[in-house]
């Protein structure tokens, strides 16, 4: 193996991961790699005859992170093992791990060949949609720690967070719905079979057969009218207690009357009842609820601060490092936080150069340098080398935890959701009750039997089951359309809120700008190729984010750097080819003060004391942002609230409509209060943000959307999660939400027409079992077909779904 300089006139790609080779490259077996980590993975695969991995897809690998075995020492803790391992009999164990790096068929192939890399692994199965791998292994031949180290060594480091230890496997509500829909479906099918004598009009001589089947139907109707209908009774009663008529109230009335009249008809021998219709209605209603409630299992919209913290932390005592569970961390302990790791508790800096990225908490993009003895707050991410700190507060007492808990008190109540169904059900119930009571009063003096039949018949046939089905199937289909476009909603009620938004508040950093990309340009004397390579070599040795951005921009050839020094918060110095370069703040370099105020981050450069110019580092706004803003701003109020300074105000003023509120240096509480002030003016506010600093505003808003680079990674509590790649389509999603609500209204009209036909027969006391068996399921099936087909067709026309050939 040898290292060779990468060519500057022709870019080469890493054989393993496909990244562009910059600076020095690693060569092995005639193949080029971007780093020794990728080379090591290739060697592991080559030694185990697994290089078929590269035949499945070109450059399929992931660049492995720097691996330190002691990082995973906490996995030797028996308590943590018990929480992570799903099954163990003392000999064989099964564990399911989240692997965010899984992205293609090659990943699946490699991860299912793990038994060839570790003899203790019996088998492994990948769930690509959830990005998880389930591994069964022999506990006497390998360990959970060894498996995690193996996965990390081949570029698939598992996501191990404190929150993952207590994550529920499946919602109890969803599981209960499955049970109920199974019972309703069983009863529906059998009750229709038992009702065939009525449908076919059997001879009177078969009266005994009709009675037996009627009683069997009645038995089938009992679990449907009780167990399967329980949630409708609870919802209706809950609404009445709050003096609200929701759509479940007329449904509950209809269920009770449908079963009550059927029981009366069967027990008195006056008829066969409507048990088959009752079972059919509950089956479709519950099917709609499953369709509505089934979201994305790998998404967790209800976040706690534990989902941001690691499971364990490295402590140091007597010069010896050990790893302990985060729950065991206490005040006074000395901890080690390495590059890109989270500070887990409020602590004092004891050793090392700290560059703390607080953007996730404050929104300020620039890392903050810290000096020895200074307090560093939980939630900050160390962007420099390893540092040592002394814990000043326990995790539960830290600033981040208190901030999170304060935000949770701002969470909206569920009462504001589903306004359309609540409004329709209120008027619908009033009209139906008025009509049925009027018919009862009309027929009662003339014919008591007809009066009772007409009264109950209207309430039965006018049960708004089709209305209740229209919303979940229309919006449930829309939810899945959005999901295919990387826009994941907490539930279908979010779509209704999206269609009514009139104010949109944006965070800036990581939301309307790229989280990990910036625009870099150089102003001054044009750099020669030697100067470019020298500056590239020096900034490549710095861990500061600005230096890394400049290195990414230059992409030069590395040279030997002598006398490299880095002054915290000031800049870096190094000598290349006998010339000394200083790169950093204006005062550090000795550059002249600019004639006008600077609205950008600048990094000045000097060679042997002579100023060469400066690099400008600006936020890079997402592609297509101006067009999206123009569409969103039509008829809506827009605002930007940011924790950053005002350097970007001119660019934002040119991008957003005139009169847009542009607020900077905003704390998390300031953002929350701004959203609240808009709501007090009667606005329906959509908040769009990406970090913990936006969590309060996301929860306070009428609707909160969290933007994330990876939907399976941490994002603050919200009503929706949108991938950063799909963010630019936000205007399309809002437009389609309004279109979905129009489909709902159209399906309501269809349902009302069905009800009018049914009421016509009920008014005359002619609602027979056969007529109910035709009208009521037919209306439900029609609504299901209309809503799902129409929504899919319109989604394809709007470019949200691909047409199938």
CATH number of the domain residue 574 falls in: 3.40.1110.10
Which pLDDT band, with edges at 50, 70 and 90, does 44 fall under? confident
Task: Give yes or no for residue 773 having a pLDDT over 80.
Answer: no
Per-residue tokens: 66: 């720097």
Whole-number pLDDT of residue 414: 41
Q: Which residue has the higher pLDDT, 544 or 266?
A: 266
Same-domain check for residues 504 and 632? yes
Q: What is the DSSP string of 276-345?
A: HHHHHHHHHHHHHHHHHH---TT---S--GGGTSBSEEEEEETTEEEEEEGGG--TT-EEEE-TTPBP-S
Residue 209 lies in a domain: yes
Residue 278 lies in a domain: yes
The whole-angstrom separation of Cα 144 and Cα 61 is 23
The whole-angstrom separation of Cα 547 and Cα 696 is 33
Whole-number pLDDT of residue 677: 94
Which pLDDT band, with edges at 50, 70 and 90, does 710 fall under? low
Q: Lowest-pLDDT range, 219-233, 537-551, 569-583?
A: 537-551
Most confident segment among 30-44, 155-169, 378-392:
378-392
Same-domain check for residues 285 and 183? yes
Please classify residue 746 by burial: count the beta carbons closer than 10 Å to its beta carbon, then call 0-12 exposed, 13-18 middle and 19+ buried.
middle
Segment 518-532 mean pLDDT? 88
Q: How far from each other are the two terminal CA atoms of the chain, in whole angstroms?
A: 50
Residue 358 lies in a domain: yes
Structural domain ending residue among the three candidates 738, 754, 779: 738
According to DSSP, the residues that pair with 619 across neighbouring strands are 518
Which pLDDT band, with edges at 50, 70 and 90, does 76 fall under? confident
Per-residue tokens: 124: 């492994």
Mean of the per-residue pLDDT values of the chain: 78
pLDDT digits (tens, 9 = 90+) for 639-664: 999 887 787 888 889 899 988 999 98
Segment 508-535 mean pLDDT? 86
Question: Strand 320-325 and strand 312-317: pairing?
Answer: antiparallel
Whole-number pLDDT of residue 8: 36
Task: Give yes or no for residue 750 having a pLDDT over 50.
Answer: yes
Same-domain check for residues 401 and 429? no
Residue 140 lies in a domain: no
Structural domain ending residue among the three candidates 709, 738, 767: 738
Whole-number pLDDT of residue 417: 41
Segment 743-750 mean pLDDT? 86
The whole-angstrom separation of Cα 469 and Cα 787 is 9
Residue 232 lies in a domain: yes
Same-domain check for residues 355 and 425? no
Whole-number pLDDT of residue 667: 80
Whole-number pLDDT of residue 557: 81
Q: Which residue has the higher pLDDT, 231 or 573?
A: 573
The angle subtended at Cα 361 by Cα 549 and Cα 628, nearest 5°, is 65
Is residue 786 within 8 Å of residue 750, measured between CB atoms? yes
The whole-angstrom separation of Cα 212 and Cα 659 is 75
pLDDT digits (tens, 9 = 90+) for 340-354: 778 888 889 998 888
Same-domain check for residues 520 and 508? no
pTM over 0.85: no
Same-domain check for residues 226 and 201? yes
Whole-number pLDDT of residue 206: 63
Question: Strand 637-641 and strand 503-506: pairing?
Answer: parallel
Task: Give yes or no for residue 670 having a pLDDT over 90.
Answer: no
Q: Lowest-pLDDT range, 121-125, 201-205, 305-309?
A: 201-205
Same-domain check for residues 256 and 231? yes
The whole-angstrom separation of Cα 137 and Cα 119 is 9
The angle subtended at Cα 576 by Cα 573 and Cα 579, nearest 5°, is 80
Question: Strand 2-5 and strand 375-376: pairing?
Answer: unpaired
- Structural domain that includes position 555: 516-619
The whole-angstrom separation of Cα 299 and Cα 714 is 10
Whole-number pLDDT of residue 11: 45
Residue 139 lies in a domain: no
Can you give the C-alpha Rg of the chain in angstroms?
33
Whole-number pLDDT of residue 508: 86
Segment 562-582 mean pLDDT? 86
Q: Lowest-pLDDT range, 193-202, 211-220, 411-420, 729-738?
A: 411-420
Is residue 334 within 8 Å of residue 350, measured between CB atoms? yes
Whole-number pLDDT of residue 731: 93
Q: Lowest-pLDDT range, 65-74, 327-336, 389-398, 728-737?
A: 65-74
Residue 129 lies in a domain: no
Whole-number pLDDT of residue 413: 43
Which pLDDT band, with edges at 50, 70 and 90, does 763 fall under? low
Same-domain check for residues 503 and 634? yes
Most confident segment among 221-225, 230-234, 243-247, 424-428:
221-225
The whole-angstrom separation of Cα 568 and Cα 370 is 8
Whole-number pLDDT of residue 631: 92
Same-domain check for residues 634 and 733? yes
Which pLDDT band, with edges at 50, 70 and 90, does 569 fall under? low
Question: Strand 661-663 and strand 637-641: pairing?
Answer: parallel
Is residue 672 within 8 Å of residue 691, measured between CB atoms? no
Please give the helix or strand (H or E) that residue 32 lies within, else none.
Answer: strand 31-33
How large a percentage of the chain has pLDDT more than 90? 15
Residue 148 lies in a domain: no
Task: Give yes or no for residue 495 having a pLDDT over 80.
Answer: yes
Same-domain check for residues 496 and 444? no
Whole-number pLDDT of residue 728: 92
According to DSSP, the residues that pair with 637 across neighbouring strands are 503
Q: For the chain, what is the domain count?
A: 5
Q: Lowest-pLDDT range, 195-204, 285-294, 562-571?
A: 195-204
The whole-angstrom separation of Cα 518 and Cα 648 is 13
Structural domain ending residue among the three candidates 600, 619, 638: 619
Whole-number pLDDT of residue 298: 46
Same-domain check for residues 567 and 689? no
Q: Which residue has the higher pLDDT, 721 or 36?
A: 721
Whole-number pLDDT of residue 6: 40
Per-residue tokens: 57: 């897809």
Is residue 29 within 8 Å of residue 116, measured between CB atoms? no
Whole-number pLDDT of residue 339: 73
The whole-angstrom separation of Cα 113 and Cα 111 is 5
Which pLDDT band, with edges at 50, 70 and 90, does 5 fall under? very low
Residues contacting 682, CB < 8 A, separation 6+: none
The runs of H, that is alpha helices, within 195-293 are: 196-200, 207-223, 230-241, 248-268, 275-293
CATH of the domain at 630: 3.40.50.1000
Same-domain check for residues 668 and 760? no
Which pLDDT band, with edges at 50, 70 and 90, does 596 fall under? low
The angle subtended at Cα 143 by Cα 140 and Cα 144, nearest 5°, is 145
Which pLDDT band, with edges at 50, 70 and 90, does 137 fall under? very high
């Amino acid at each position: 193996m040898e290292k060779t300089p990468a060519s500057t006139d022709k870019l080469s790609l890493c054989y393993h991961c496909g990244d562009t080779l910059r600076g020095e490259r690693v060569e092995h077996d005639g193949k080029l790699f971007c780093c020794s980590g990728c080379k090591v993975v290739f060697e592991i695969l080559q030694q185990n005859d697994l290089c078929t991995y590269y035949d499945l897809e070109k450059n399929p690998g992931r660049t492995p992170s720097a691996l330190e075995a002691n990082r995973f020492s906490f996995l030797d803790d028996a308590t943590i093992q018990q929480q992570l391992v799903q099954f163990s009999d003392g000999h064989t164990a099964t564990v399911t791990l989240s692997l965010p790096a899984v992205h293609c068929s090659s990943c699946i192939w490699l991860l299912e060949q793990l038994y060839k890399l570790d003899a203790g692994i019996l088998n492994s199965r990948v769930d690509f949609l959830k990005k998880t791998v389930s591994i069964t292994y022999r506990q006497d031949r390998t360990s959970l720690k060894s498996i995690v180290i193996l996965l990390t060594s081949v570029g698939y480091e598992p996501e191990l967070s404190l929150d993952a230890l207590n994550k529920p496997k499946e919602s109890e509500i969803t599981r209960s719905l499955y049970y109920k829909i199974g019972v309703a479906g069983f009863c529906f099918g059998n009750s229709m079979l038992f009702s065939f004598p009525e449908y076919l009009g059997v001879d009177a001589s078969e009266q005994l057969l009709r009675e037996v089947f009627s009683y069997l139907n009645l038995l089938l109707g009992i679990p449907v009218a009780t167990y399967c209908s329980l949630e409708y009774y609870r919802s209706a009663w809950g609404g009445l207690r709050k003096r609200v008529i929701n759509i479940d109230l007329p449904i509950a009335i209809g269920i009770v009357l449908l079963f009550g009249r059927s029981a009366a008809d069967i027990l008195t021998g006056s008829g066969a009842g409507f048990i088959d219709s009752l079972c059919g209605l509950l089956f479709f209603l519950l099917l709609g609820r499953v369709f509505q409630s089934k979201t994305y299992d790998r998404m967790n919209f209800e976040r706690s601060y534990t989902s941001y913290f690691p499971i364990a932390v490295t402590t140091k005592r007597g010069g010896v490092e050990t790893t302990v569970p985060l729950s065991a961390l206490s005040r006074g302990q000395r901890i080690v936080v390495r590059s890109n790791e989270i500070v887990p508790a409020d602590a004092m800096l004891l050793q090392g150069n700290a560059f703390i990225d607080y953007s996730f908490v404050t929104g300020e993009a620039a890392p903050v340098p810290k000096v020895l003895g200074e307090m560093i707050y939980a939630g900050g991410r160390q962007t420099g080398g390893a540092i040592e700190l002394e814990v000043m507060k326990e995790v539960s007492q830290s600033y981040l935890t208190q901030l999170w808990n304060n935000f949770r008190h701002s969470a909206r109540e569920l009462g504001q959701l589903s306004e359309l169904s609540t409004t329709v059900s209120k008027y619908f119930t009033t009209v139906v009750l008025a009509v049925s009571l009027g018919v009862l009063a009309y027929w009662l003096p003339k014919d008591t039997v007809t009066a009772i039949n007409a009264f109950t018949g209207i309430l039965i046939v006018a049960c708004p089951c089709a209305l209740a089905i229209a919303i979940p199937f229309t919006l449930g289909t829309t939810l899945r359309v959005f999901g295919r476009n990387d826009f994941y909603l907490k539930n279908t009620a979010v779509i209704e809120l999206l269609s009514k938004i009139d104010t949109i508040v944006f965070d800036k950093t990581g939301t309307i700008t790229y989280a990990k990309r910036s625009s870099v340009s150089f102003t001054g004397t044009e750099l020669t190729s030697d100067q470019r390579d020298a500056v590239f070599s020096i900034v490549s040795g710095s861990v500061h984010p600005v230096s890394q951005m400049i290195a990414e921009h230059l992409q030069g050839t590395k040279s030997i750097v002598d006398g490299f020094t880095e002054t915290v918060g000031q800049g870096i110095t190094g000598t290349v080819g006998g010339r000394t370069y200083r790169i950093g703040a204006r005062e550090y370099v000795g550059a002249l003060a600019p004639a006008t105020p600077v609205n950008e981050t600048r990094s000045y450069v000097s060679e042997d004391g002579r100023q060469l110019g400066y690099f400008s580092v600006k936020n890079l706004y997402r592609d297509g942002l101006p067009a999206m803003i123009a569409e969103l701003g039509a008829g809506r109020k827009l605002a930007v609230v940011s924790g950053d300074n005002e350097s970007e105000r001119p660019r934002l003023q040119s991008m957003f409509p005139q009169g847009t509120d542009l607020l900077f240096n905003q704390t998390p509480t300031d953002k929350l209060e701004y959203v609240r002030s808009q709501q007090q003016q009667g606005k329906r506010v959509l908040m769009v943000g990406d970090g913990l600093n936006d969590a309060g505003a996301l929860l306070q808003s009428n609707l909160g959307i969290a933007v994330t680079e990876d939907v399976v990674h941490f994002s603050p509590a919200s009503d929706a999660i949108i991938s950063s790649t799909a963010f630019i389509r936000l205007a399309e999603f809002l437009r389609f939400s309004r279109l979905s609500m129009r489909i709902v209204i159209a399906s309501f009209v269809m349902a009302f027409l069905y009800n009018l036909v049914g009421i016509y027969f009920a008014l005359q006391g002619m609602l027979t079992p056969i007529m109910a068996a035709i009208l009521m399921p037919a209306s439900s099936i029609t609504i299901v077909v209309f809503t799902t087909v129409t929504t899919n067709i319109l989604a394809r026309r709007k470019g949200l779904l691909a047409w199938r050939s």
